[in-house]
Amino acid sequence: MEKRIRLGIFGFGCVGQGLYNVLNHTRGINASIRKICIRHPEKKRTLEASYFTTDRDEIINDPEIDVIVELIDDVQAAYEIVTSALKKRKAVVSANKKMIAEHLDELIRLQAEYKVSFLYEASCCASIPIIRNLEEYYDNELLRSVTGILNGSTNYILTHIFQHNKSFEKALKEAQEMGFAESDPRLDTEGYDAKYKLMIILVHAFGIVLRPDEVFNYGIQHLNDFDIRYAREKNMTVKLIARCRKIGNKVYGYCMPEFVPVSDTLNKVNYEYNGLILEGAFSENQFFMGKGAGGNSTGSAVLSDISALTYEYKYEYKKIDQHLNYRYSNDHLLEVFVRYNAKVKIDAGDFENIAVRYESADFNYIIAKVNLQHLMQFKWLADPDINIILTENNA
């Protein structure tokens, strides 16, 4: 039977206010807000002061509150809130991908130990229902790959660069003003946010639990006019794409910028939208698209998790339980475009083979094959005079 839920919410920023708005416009959900914990009591709020507290224990220890909704931008505090709530056998909903990705192992263990639900649909692609789909619909071993644009903020920036000729800085500022960017925008631009989401997808797609340092991420922060001109000349754009794929018993994954032909499905995913292509052994490709950032769209996914708790839904981590024994490995060959300038010396020995080498007064590039596990070790990854983009020939 559907039960009534009393919510204790942490955070009343972009997503917290989005949730309040969505909840207010939804008739069918038997849930009400009892208290909201925020950090700055002096901030002007749109709700009465009696809703708010700065004392986290007032919520965690309230026996009347049965569901904790964690929507804050402080990872350490979020970890403490979520783990103490689970240990008190309160169900938790969270949108905090960094915190979840960094503590996946422990969070899965706590759910089993305390027999309590921890749902986090909004953490992956905001409005796109991907986690519950991976758990329930793709609940077998026939899934082959997940490929997606998982970060709304960088997708917004890249769309404005390629479609409206805006500068990187101007597009980032706009993404921040519209509430699409993380409080620390490097999490978006350097590919960490998309990597954290990929790690969550890896658990529900293939039953693989990893640490963040095991998955490669490279962002769009080195993208310059030469890269953009190169892409345009080849009738392509650049998108920040996260992938994971199973070949036999081996699974690999990464998040990197890629050249994407203008006609490609993922090129239909623009601005703050996210898009995922799921490939099944027999179902072939399925394409999901929806808003990947923003208060109301993320709030909708949080509300859907709250609604699922009214019928006591919990993730079963079916792929882990099926003992599929997939092995995660970065031993995988990629074709990369590496652009650099005269200040930089590229060592041919870093690559398996170099198919194209171009040199000019302004910029140089090579197109070459490189093993992902070697690429992860390269000292020059952080050099701003070098940019790496995957070619369109990687699947």
Ligand X SMILES: NC(=O)c1ccc[n+]([C@@H]2O[C@H](COP(=O)([O-])OP(=O)(O)OC[C@H]3O[C@@H](n4cnc5c(N)ncnc54)[C@H](OP(=O)(O)O)[C@@H]3O)[C@@H](O)[C@H]2O)c1
Phi–psi pair at 43, nearest 5 degrees:
-65, 145
Residues 105-144 touching ligand X, rule: CB under 6 A, are 122-123, 126
Stretch binding ligand X (CB under 6 A), from 13-21, 236-244, 245-253, 385-393: 13-21
Distances (CA, A) of 70 to 87, 116, 176, 316, 323: 15, 15, 21, 21, 31
Q: Where in 83-102 is the site for ligand X (CB under 6 A)?
A: 95-97
The DSSP H or E segment spanning 310 is none
Is 242 a binding residue for ligand X by CB under 6 A? The answer is: no
Comparing CB distances to ligand X, the nearer of 16 and 148 is: 16
Out of 30, 140, 183, 249, the only residue in the binding site for ligand X (CB under 6 A) is 183
On whether the CB atoms of residues 314 and 111 are closer than 8 A, the answer is yes
Residue 233: both structure tokens together: 């000349």
In a 10 Å sphere around its CB, with 0-12 CB exposed, 13-18 middle and 19+ buried, how is residue 41 labelled? exposed
- E strand or H helix that includes residue 223: none
Residue with tokens 């095991």: 214
Q: Which of 19, 77, 101, 119 binds ligand X (CB under 6 A)?
A: 77
Question: What is d(CA 60, CA 34) in angstroms, rounded to the nearest whole number?
Answer: 12
For residue 212, state whether it binds ligand X (rule: CB under 6 A). no
Q: What share of the chain is helix, strand, coil (3-state, %, to 5)?
A: 35, 25, 35
Backbone angles phi and psi of 288, in degrees to 5: -115, 135
Residue nearest to ligand X (CB): 13
Lay out the site mask for ligand X across 36-75 (x = CB under 6 A, - = otherwise): -xxxx--x---------------------------xxxx-
We find the least distance from the C-beta atom of residue 16 to ligand X, in angstroms, to be 6
Q: Does 156 bind ligand X (CB under 6 A)?
A: no
Q: Residue 13, interface with ligand X (CB under 6 A)?
A: yes
Site size for ligand X (CB under 6 A): 30
CB nearer ligand X, residue 180 or residue 252: 180
Is 298 an interacting residue with respect to ligand X (CB under 6 A)?
Answer: yes
CB of 27 to ligand X, least distance (A): 25
Contact 288/128 with Cβ under 8 angstroms?
yes
Q: Which residues of this chain interact with ligand X, rule CB under 6 A?
A: 10-16, 37-40, 43, 71-74, 77, 95-97, 122-123, 126, 179-180, 182-183, 293-294, 298
